[in-house]
């Protein structure tokens, strides 16, 4: 489906978040007849288009020439499915972007680490003097990047976005990892994997995580690989000397990097591989890796109160992210690890955490809707009602050299507006200890 004709077409944009609004603005510039829909009962829209609130209007959807679905709206929603059965095509913002983009794209997806790798690649490109734009599932909606002058666009892509994308042609792409996530929406791991791997469909160069079988492209060869396993080809990890290797030779000493943890060494490798395949020189890749200090709410040290490291990893909204954080910190823990976890589990199987929690966590503090399910996995657990209570319990049981980490393995919406708010509450509670 190339070069959509949008002028005078009746197009319904469903979901009026940042992405939906960007779609409305873009479609209006193309002369489309746009109707906006949102499930909320109250909403003020500054754009001059009809706005339908509440239950989705099945008749309007089924009569549309095209539906543009925001990533936050489930494709399986009955009204959307009925429109599909009526022959209406449903796409998302990334498909719209793909139809009109002419700039090289570096595409990044995966269950965990997407935002960190996206920022790392961007920094590496900037270090080489490239004009780079970044967006997609992070920061700026992809459509808002169109028309801007750039050497490359770096896109973070979610499974929700890829589910309605068919024509994206990245110059280089990677699937960082695949762990059970969003199964409440996608149904099962196989379907989730299929959606993630679709980023490779029209890709010119593939960069692959050789340690995750679920990330391997189907019937395609990778241009470069990365992983924590040993390899004489691509990027790898020398655990004894704590160095990143390229083709078996030292490429970057991790001691020169601001990021810490094995999972971040893997993130640096992935970014370096993407940047190198794109054509960024080695010196610029190293410079970008060394200068990037990490993102808020992603294994971010927020305090060293009483010589205890307090880490905000609120972005760990699934089991895989929390396991990666725990394993990544293993070599940095001089005392014990106190973990704060729990929230909305999204149908995840927490049992896969049992061994890691038993071996690496000294005290488990749980809260939220599915906190009890996680608590059952550790004999030394404390159940609390709030983040503030969790911090007080952690402070009581921690000693110099310990690490206290909020890494929930769950979404935040059972208790908070967002994972950012959850992380901010944690950081504020930690700061209050010293007050």
Question: What residues act catalytically?
Answer: 114, 137, 182
Pairwise CA distance, residues 181 & 319, whole Å = 8
Cβ burial of 40 (10 Å; 0-12, 13-18, 19+) is: exposed
Pairwise CA distance, residues 23 & 94, whole Å = 10
Pairwise CA distance, residues 371 & 270, whole Å = 33
Pairwise CA distance, residues 155 & 143, whole Å = 11
């Amino acid at each position: 489906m190339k070069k959509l004709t949008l002028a005078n077409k009746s197009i319904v944009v469903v979901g009026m978040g940042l992405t939906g609004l960007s779609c409305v603005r873009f479609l209006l510039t193309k002369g489309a007849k746009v109707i906006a829909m949102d499930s909320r009962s109250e909403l003020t829209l500054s754009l001059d288009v009809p706005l339908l609130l509440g239950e989705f209007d099945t008749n309007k959807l089924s009569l549309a020439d095209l539906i543009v679905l925001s990533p936050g709206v489930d494709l399986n929603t009955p009204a959307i499915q009925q429109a599909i059965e009526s022959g209406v095509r449903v796409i998302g913002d990334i498909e719209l972007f793909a139809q009109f983009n002419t700039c090289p794209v570096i595409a990044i997806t995966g269950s965990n680490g997407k935002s960190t790798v996206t920022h790392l690649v961007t920094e590496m490109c900037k270090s080489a003097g490239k004009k780079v734009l970044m967006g997609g599932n992070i920061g700026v909606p992809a459509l808002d990047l169109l028309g801007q002058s750039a050497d490359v666009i770096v896109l973070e892509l979610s499974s929700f976005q890829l589910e309605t994308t068919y024509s994206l042609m990245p110059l280089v792409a990677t699937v960082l990892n695949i762990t059970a996530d969003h199964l409440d929406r996608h149904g099962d791991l196989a379907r989730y994997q299929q959606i993630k791997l679709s980023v490779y469909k029209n890709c010119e160069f593939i960069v692959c995580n050789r340690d995750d079988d679920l990330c391997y492209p189907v019937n395609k060869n990778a241009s470069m690989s990365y992983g924590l396993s040993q390899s004489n080809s691509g990027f790898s990890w020398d655990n004894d000397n704590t160095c990143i290797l390229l083709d078996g030779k030292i490429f970057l000493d991790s001691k020169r990097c601001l990021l810490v943890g094995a999972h971040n060494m893997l993130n640096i490798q992935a970014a370096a591989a993407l940047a190198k395949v794109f054509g960024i020189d080695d010196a610029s890749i190293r410079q970008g890796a060394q200068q990037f200090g990490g993102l808020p709410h992603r294994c971010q040290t927020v305090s060293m109160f009483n010589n205890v490291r307090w880490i905000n990893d609120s972005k760990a909204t699934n089991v895989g992210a929390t396991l990666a954080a725990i394993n990544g910190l293993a070599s940095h823990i001089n005392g014990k690890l106190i973990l704060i976890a729990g929230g909305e589990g999204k149908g995840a199987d927490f049992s896969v955490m049992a061994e890691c929690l038993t071996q690496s966590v000294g005290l488990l503090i749980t809260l939220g809707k599915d906190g009890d399910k996680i608590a059952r996995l550790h004999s030394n657990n404390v159940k609390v009602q709030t983040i503030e209570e969790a911090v007080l319990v952690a402070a009581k049981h921690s000693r110099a050299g310990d690490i206290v980490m909020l890494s929930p393995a769950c979404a935040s919406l059972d208790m908070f507006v967002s994972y950012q708010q959850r992380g901010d509450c944690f950081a504020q509670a930690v700061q209050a200890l010293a007050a």
